[in-house]
Every structure is written in C-alpha cells, then in structure tokens.
C-alpha cells in the first residue's frame, strides 16, 4: 500500500513509542493522533537548549500537565544547559536551520534514543518535526544518527505537520489554554 503525501502512518507493529516533546502545544495533536491510532506514547521532555531557566520550567510544567491530563507516562530529562552549550560550541553564530540546529537536534535525539533503550522501547520520534520553523531534513538526519548510535532503536521519521495536525494543534492550544512560546528555545534563536 502506498502512502499518500499528506498521510501519517504508524510503522507496522508499533504500539508504544517514546515521544521527545519540545513543548505541550507541539505534542498535543501528535499525542491525540497516536492514541486514536493505537499507539501509546511515553512523553520524554528533554530540552536543555531552552533558555532562560524560567522559560524551560514553564514549558516543562505545561508538558507535564498535558501528559497527566491524559494519564500518560511523562519523563523529565535533566536540564543541563551548560552541557548543551558545550555541544553547540563554535556554532553560536549560525542562522536558524543552520549547523547549530542540526547539532542541537542530534544531541537531544541521541538522549531520546538512549532513554527509549533504557525503557525497553524500540521506536522513538519527536515533536520537533511538527514545527514549520524547523528543517525536516535536519530532524530526520539527527534521528537517524541517534538510531545508528543507539543499537536496538528505530527513529520513526514523520512529518507531523501533515494530516491536519497543525490546525488541530492550534485548536488544542486554545482548549488547554497552553502557554505558547514565541521562539525555539535557545538564546541564539531569540535573536
């Protein structure tokens, strides 16, 4: 069966997945879609790129509130902004969608793959692929790098902007009264 351009499909046999969530607004429609299609996500909030700490905490609490409202397992990845800064050192001046973003995605998705393996989950994916401000090619590359690095994991590469999910995201943002940030998260994207 061939996949239609705007269609989202569950990989064969997937019933559980580790979903790296950047924020509640971006994960809301994806989580709803997964649950409606027989996939139970575990939410992994790992975003050491977010700056300042107050911004990180607001996004974290919104993500946790959303997961708890649906009875989903929610995992808090540690906030170590200094370690993240080390990971992107030398790339601070790169433009959005440049090599800093690829390095950031790679850093976060490797941690996601490691968490999936620790939980005994094979598949992992990310809400980063729902943002129109991000490069899907970079996200896919970062996810496949993580998959290659962490044996026994598979990156579910998916364009989560399709299938009406962007519009549904905006509806859920209002329904849940989510905090909706105005920048990616790092101090470099604030520019």
At residue 132, the pLDDT reads 84
Task: Compute CA 5 distance to the chain's CA centroid, rounded to the nearest angstrom.
Answer: 22
Where b means 16+ CB within 10 Å and e means fewer, 76-100 reads ebebebeebbebbeeeeeeeeeeeb
Q: Which two tokens stand for residue 11?
A: 């990989």
At residue 1, the pLDDT reads 44
Task: Compute CA 49 distance to the chain's CA centroid, rounded to the nearest angstrom.
Answer: 12
Q: Are 187 and 94 in contact (CB under 8 A)?
A: no
At residue 4, the pLDDT reads 59
Task: Compute CA 13 distance to the chain's CA centroid, rounded to the nearest angstrom.
Answer: 21
Task: Compute CA 111 distance to the chain's CA centroid, rounded to the nearest angstrom.
Answer: 12
pTM across the whole model:
0.94
Q: Where along the chain do its domains lie?
A: 23-176
At residue 3, the pLDDT reads 54
- Which segments in the chain show pLDDT lower than 50? 1
At residue 6, the pLDDT reads 63
User: Could you give the 3-state DSSP secondary structure of residue 142?
Assistant: helix
Q: Which helix (H) or strand (E) holds 25?
A: helix 24-36
List the one residue out of 88, 110, 135 whose CA is nearest residue 44.
110
Question: CATH says 23-176 is which class?
Answer: alpha beta
Q: Give the pLDDT confidence of 50-76 residue by residue, as tens digits.
A: 999 999 999 999 999 999 999 999 999
């Amino acid at each position: 069966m061939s996949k239609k351009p705007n269609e989202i499909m569950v990989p064969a046999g997937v019933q559980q997945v580790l979903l790296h969530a950047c924020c509640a607004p971006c994960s809301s429609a994806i989580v709803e879609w997964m649950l409606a299609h027989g996939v139970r996500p575990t939410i992994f909030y790992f975003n050491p790129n977010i700056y300042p700490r107050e911004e990180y905490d607001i996004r974290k609490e919104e993500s946790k509130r959303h997961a708890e409202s649906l009875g989903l397992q929610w995992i808090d990845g540690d906030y170590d902004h200094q370690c993240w800064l080390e990971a992107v050192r030398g790339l601070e001046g790169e433009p959005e969608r440049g090599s800093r973003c690829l390095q950031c995605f790679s850093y976060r998705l490797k941690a996601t793959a490691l968490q999936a393996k620790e939980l005994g989950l094979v598949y992992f994916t990310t809400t980063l692929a729902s943002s129109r401000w991000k490069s899907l090619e970079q996200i896919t590359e970062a996810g496949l790098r993580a998959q290659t690095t962490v044996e026994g994991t598979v990156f579910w590469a998916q364009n989560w902007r399709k299938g009406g999910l962007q519009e549904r995201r905006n509806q859920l943002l209002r329904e849940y009264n989510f905090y909706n940030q105005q920048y990616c998260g790092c101090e470099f994207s604030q520019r």
